Amino acid sequence: MLKTSFRYLNLLFFTLLILLTFSFFLPYLFPGDLVTNMSGITPASEQQRDALERALKLDQSIAQQFKLYVENIYLGDWGVSTTTNTSIFSEVTEVLPATLELVFYALIIAIFIGIPIGIIAGLKHHNILDFTTVSFSIAAYSFPVFWLAMIFITVFCLQLGWLPTSGRIDLLYDIPTVSGFIMIDIALSDVDYKSQAYQNAISHMVLPTLSVAIITMALFIRFVRRSMMDVMSKEYIVAAKSRGFSSAQIVFKHGIKNALIPILPILALQVSTLITNVMIVETVFAWPGIGKWLIESIYQRDYPAIRIGMLIVSVLVLVMTISTEFLTRLLDPARENVEHATV
C-alpha cells in the first residue's frame, strides 16, 4: 500500500517535472523574438530591450530562470497576458471552474445513465434491446462532437427556439463570482430572482453538457457491456448459480463488482478524449471555459497565456488519469503483484 503510493507519487513527480521543463522551454521554441513574445512589447531601443530582459529575468542563467519559473508557478505569479494585460492567474481561476463544471455534469450523466445501460445490455446480450444499445453506442461515438453540437444548435436554438445558443447565463442576471461554479454562485448570492437565475443557467447548460455526455456515455456503455459479458461467462458465476443464488444476488454480488474494476483504467484513458471534446464544445457554445480561452489565445498569439494554459490543462488531465489509476490499484486485489506505476 505504502509502496504503491510511493510509486505513484514518484510517477506524478517526474511527469510534472517533464511538463514544467517543457513549458519553461516553450517560449524559446515560439517563432519571433523571445522578449517580444513574453512581454507583448517590441523593444524600440537597446535600453528598453535591456530593461525588459531584466524585468523578465532573461539576463540570468537558464538554471536560475528555471528555479524562478517554478517558484512563480507555485506562488501563483503566472505572468501577464499580452492581449488583455491582466494577470493570467486570475484569468485561469475564472475559466477553469467553468470547464470543470461542464466536465462534472457530463460525467455524472455518462456514469449514471451509461453504466446501468451497459450492465443491462451485457446481461441480456444478443437480443433486440442489446442490438439497439450497441448500434446507438457505435453511432454515438462516431459522431464528431462539433457536428453534434451544431446539430443541437440548429434544431433546438434556431429552428425550435427552446434554448439559448451561447454563454453560461444571460447578462440580465448579475451573479457575483465567488467560486466560479455558476450553480454554487447562484446559491451563494443574495439576489431575489434565484429560481429564474437557476432556470436560465440550466437552459444554457443543457446543450453543451449533452453534446459531451452523449459521446462519453456511448464509450462507457461499450466498455461496461463488453466487460459484463466477459464476467458473466466466468466459472465463478456458474459456481454461484449451482449453489442456488438468485440471479439478482449473482449480478449484484459477483457480476457488477468484477465487471467494473477492470474497466476503470480504460475509463481513465478516456479523460483525455473527454477534455478534448469539452474544449471543442466550449468553442462552439462560447462557454467561457479554459478550452475556449486557450484556443482564443492561439488566435491572438498570446504566448504567455498559451504556455500556462498548456501546463494547466495537461496537469489537470495527468492528475485525473494517474489518480484514477491509483484508485484502481487500491480497489483491485488482482493487481497486487504488479508493482510498477503505470498508466
Partner 1 sequence: MQRFNHYQEEYYPSPLMHVWIEFRRSHIALVGFVVLSVFIFIALFGDLIAPFDPNLQNTNAILLPPSWEANGTIVHVFGTDSLGRDVFSRILHACQVTFGVSILIVIIAAGIGVGLGVLAGLLSGLRSSVINHLFDSIMSVPTLLIAIIIVAILGTGLFNAMLAITLALIPQFVHQTRTFVKTELQKDYVILDKLDGASPMRIFFNSILPGMAELIVVQATLAISIAIIDISALGFLNLGATTGMTELGQMLSQSLDVAYVSPWLVALPGLFIFLMVFSVNVVGEGLRSALRNRLKL
Least Å distance between CB 283 and partner 1?
Answer: 6
Instruction: Provide the β-strand partners of residue 87.
Output: 80
| Closest CB 238 distance from partner 1, rounded Å | 17
Give, in degrees to the nearest 5, the angle at Cα 19 between 294 and 104: 50
By the rule CB under 8 A, 13 interacts with partner 1: no
Binding to partner 1, residues 132-171 (CB under 8 A): 135, 138-139, 141-147, 150-151, 154, 158
**Cα dihedral sign for 305, 311, 316, 321?**
positive
Residues 305-324, interacting with partner 1 (CB under 8 A):
306, 310, 313-314, 317-318, 321-322
Among the listed ranges 9-17, 62-70, 104-112, 190-198, the one in contact with partner 1 (CB under 8 A) is: 9-17
Q: Does the footprint of partner 1 cover residue 111 (CB under 8 A)? A: no
Pick 49 or 301: Cβ nearer partner 1: 301
Asked if 211 touches partner 1 (CB under 8 A), the answer is: no
Q: Does 29 bind partner 1 (CB under 8 A)?
A: yes
Note the residues at the interface with partner 1 (CB under 8 A).
11, 14-15, 18-19, 26, 29-31, 135, 138-139, 141-147, 150-151, 154, 158, 269, 271-273, 275-276, 279-280, 283, 291, 294-295, 298-299, 301, 303, 306, 310, 313-314, 317-318, 321-322, 340-343
